[in-house]
């Protein structure tokens, strides 16, 4: 006896067809542009990957300011977590990362957080702060693009955005004290471990299960 037809059991993609993605079709049906979202994500995670690299160098030059180094390490590792969270989504949207790292970095949606010529703690903190502000603008754009049409990408983007807002507040607090001698609290609490990324870390498989 034939199975009862189910509401979502079939659609415009033929059974077994691997050339089309229903996940992209439903974005279009909701008024979104999956290709535009995908390309924006590549630019966004290019910036996260760039920031992870450049923060490594910036953190090194905060020697003697161990509290600054600790907080920068949280931000550095969480930016790597952002890259790793979103990278699979690029492939789910039928894309891929540029095969050449130079091409990938050229697409980064934010300026590279390069070490300043005069790497004082104040100057390094200014670079860190502006990098976080660019990240906030980036992920706010992704949220706006996906809020009504792509709940999976929106969920990732809004979680990353919350952590980037944390990072901005951290560096405002540190720069205010370092440069201006002003207390400008961020309400920062140390993560359980550096780079815990409480909102954006990919779930890990439980190998003992």
Task: Quote the DSSP letter at residue 116.
Answer: P
Residue ranges of domains in the chain, CATH in brackets: 24-180 (1.20.1260.10)
List the chain pLDDT tens, one digit each, 209 residues. Answer: 456 677 676 677 767 666 678 889 999 999 999 999 999 999 999 999 999 999 999 999 999 999 999 999 999 999 999 999 999 999 999 999 999 999 999 999 999 999 999 999 999 999 999 999 999 999 999 999 999 999 999 999 999 999 999 999 999 999 999 999 999 888 766 667 666 667 777 654 444 54
Contact 125, 119 (CB under 8 A): no
Please compute, for residue 125, the number of CA atoms within 13 A of its CA located in the half-sphere on the CB side.
23
Of the candidates 35, 199, 51, the residue with the CA atom closest to the CA atom of residue 134? 51
Of the candidates 146, 116, 118, the residue with the CA atom closest to the CA atom of residue 131? 116
């Amino acid at each position: 006896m034939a199975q009862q037809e189910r509401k979502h059991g079939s659609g415009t993609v033929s059974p077994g067809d691997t050339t089309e993605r229903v996940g992209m079709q439903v974005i279009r049906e909701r008024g979104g542009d999956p290709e535009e979202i995908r390309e924006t994500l590549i630019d966004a995670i290019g910036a996260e990957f760039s920031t992870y690299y450049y923060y490594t160098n910036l953190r090194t030059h905060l020697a003697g300011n161990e509290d600054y180094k600790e907080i920068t390490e949280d931000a550095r590792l969480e930016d790597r977590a952002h890259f790793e969270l979103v990278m699979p989504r690029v492939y789910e949207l039928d894309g891929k990362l540029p095969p050449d790292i130079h091409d990938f970095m050229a697409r980064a949606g934010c300026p590279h957080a390069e070490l300043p010529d005069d790497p004082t703690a104040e100057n390094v903190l200014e670079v860190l702060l502006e990098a976080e502000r660019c990240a906030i603008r980036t992920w706010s754009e992704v949220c706006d693009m996906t809020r009504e049409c792509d709940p999976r990408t929106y969920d990732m983007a809004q979680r990353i955005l919350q952590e980037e807002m944390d990072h901005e507040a951290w560096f405002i607090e540190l720069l205010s004290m370092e440069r201006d001698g002003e207390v400008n609290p961020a309400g920062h609490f140390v993560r359980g471990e550096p780079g815990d990324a409480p909102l954006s870390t990919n779930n890990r498989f439980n190998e003992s299960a």
